[in-house]
Amino acid sequence: MIKRMPTNCGDKTCPSCVIAGDFIFLAHHAGGNNEKGVEEQMKSCLESMKKTLESAGAKMNDMVQINLHLRFIEDFDKARKVFNEYFDEENFPARMTTTTDFMDKGCLCMLDGTAYKPGAGK
């Protein structure tokens, strides 16, 4: 069974996540573009992901893979440190980091990823 959750960004062509069996595929979660620093934007991204996961019956520690998209590679260390506030030390998801230019010029970071939660699709 496949279940699409309501959008988190106002674009109905982009569900906040898609639940397929035991997997939860999270769409992009951008961080409070009105915030000036990458740390604050990372916290906003992760809080948004947390809410999306909760709506699907999952938690942050159910994340198995995460993609971190940064505007500036110089922000990597600051952004990486924020993960410690959201994941238990033994439960960090696999991560890939890249840099990109976002449509919203105030956006410094964006996250997407995959969670695994047995029974999520029921």
Nearest-angstrom CA–CA distance, 84 and 54: 19
Name which residue leads in pLDDT, 66 or 10.
66
Q: Is residue 100 part of a domain?
A: yes
pLDDT of residue 102: 85
Residue 14's identity, in one-letter code, is: C
Q: Is residue 84 part of a domain?
A: yes
Q: Is residue 90 part of a domain?
A: yes
pLDDT tops 80 at residue 58:
yes
Q: Is residue 59 part of a domain?
A: yes
Q: Is residue 65 part of a domain?
A: yes
Whole-number Cα distances in Å, 79 to 2, 15, 56, 88, 96: 32, 25, 25, 16, 13
Q: Is residue 56 part of a domain?
A: yes
Instruction: List, as one string, the DSSP characters of 36-80.
Output: -SHHHHHHHHHHHHHHHHHHTT--GGGEEEEEEEES-GGGHHHHH
* Residue range of the domain that includes 100: 30-111
**pLDDT tens digits for 81-96?**
999 999 988 999 999 9
pLDDT interval class at 9 (50, 70, 90): low
Q: What is the mean pLDDT of residues 68-74?
A: 96
Q: What is the pTM of this model?
A: 0.89
- Overall number of domains in the chain: 1
pLDDT interval class at 15 (50, 70, 90): low
Q: Is residue 40 part of a domain?
A: yes
User: What CATH number did the domain enclosing 94 receive?
Assistant: 3.30.1330.40
Q: Residue with structure tokens 């939860």?
A: 24
Q: Is residue 101 part of a domain?
A: yes
Name which residue leads in pLDDT, 44 or 6.
44
